[in-house]
Amino acid sequence: MPKLPDLRRSSVPRWRDVPPQHGRRFVVTGASSGIGLEVSRALAGAGAEVVLAVRDRAKGERVAAGLPGRVEVQVLDVSDLSSVRAFADGVGRVDVLVNNAGILGVPFARTADGLETTLATNHLGHFALTNLLLARLADRVVVTGSRSHLHGELDVDDLGWERRTYRPYAAYAASKLANLLFLAELQRRLTAAGSTLRATGAHPGSTATAITASSGNGLLTWVGSWGHRLAGMQPWQGALPTLYAATMDVPGNTYVGPSGPGEMQGWPTTARRAPAALDPDLARRLWERSEELTRVRFPL
């Protein structure tokens, strides 16, 4: 399989054209806005059948009406394991699962399953969904990371912030580190099982989306929103790393991000990972704890 070109060299062409996807079926979580919407738009425009996996069906239907091609809406709240199971039971055949949904900077809360909300939404729900669908996937899983994982500290023995003082952005960074550990361990397990499936990952750099809208802090939401609008990429460009990871012939455990300074803006190329994201023991322990919390196990 080819490696990504080094797009930090100015002579390398900038990738932006999704290859034809006719006959392929994608599930995109968090598809009603931001990166998820732009990923869905591009995939549908390339001929794919796209399932918009969204919490709000009415909003999803409004979004779907404005997209090209074959698009359907199904309800999924990745923070609710009963919703994850119901979605997995009813979604049918899938070629590519794009785990995109996420939250950032929210106040401390617990889900209906008693899990800390940020980790439940950004990691545990997608962990469960992936493993529930794995036996029916034809191609790959795409995991969404973030530059914030570089600052993440993951305490596997206190994933619910029961012994530590909860800090919203520390919780987000930890959940993003969990995403990359999940990516690496999933690919390790797929390879060990002799599976041809692959796990890839991507992050959007700084992109003008509404991810800070649910922070509960008006100032934080305003600063985050306007900061991304002023300094970040438009959502269509921020979606390109995810689209590359979802459609191009790259090896498993490839991680894609923007090519510019600090991976804030630019075009898809290989992204940097923190040393902790490459720790196989930490990845294994997180996987085992995730199985305990979700009661979902690797099926292959």
Q: Which residues contact 26 (CB under 8 A, 6 or more apart)?
A: 40, 43, 48, 49, 50, 51, 94, 95, 96, 97, 98, 246
Residue among 169, 172, 244, 255 flagged as catalytic: 172
Does 172 participate in catalysis according to the annotation? yes
Q: Which of 137, 131, 106 is nearest to 121 (CA)?
A: 106
Phi, psi of 252 (to 5 degrees): -60, 150
Q: Minimal CA–CA distance to 101: which of 85, 82, 131, 123?
A: 123
Structure tokens at 140: 């790959």
Residue 74 identity:
Q
The pairs formed by 7-12 with CB atoms below 8 angstroms and a separation of 24 or more are: 7/259, 7/266, 7/267, 7/268, 7/269, 8/259, 8/269
Q: Which residues contact 126 (CB under 8 A, 6 or more apart)?
A: 29, 78, 99, 101, 143, 179, 182
Which residues are tagged catalytic? Answer: 172
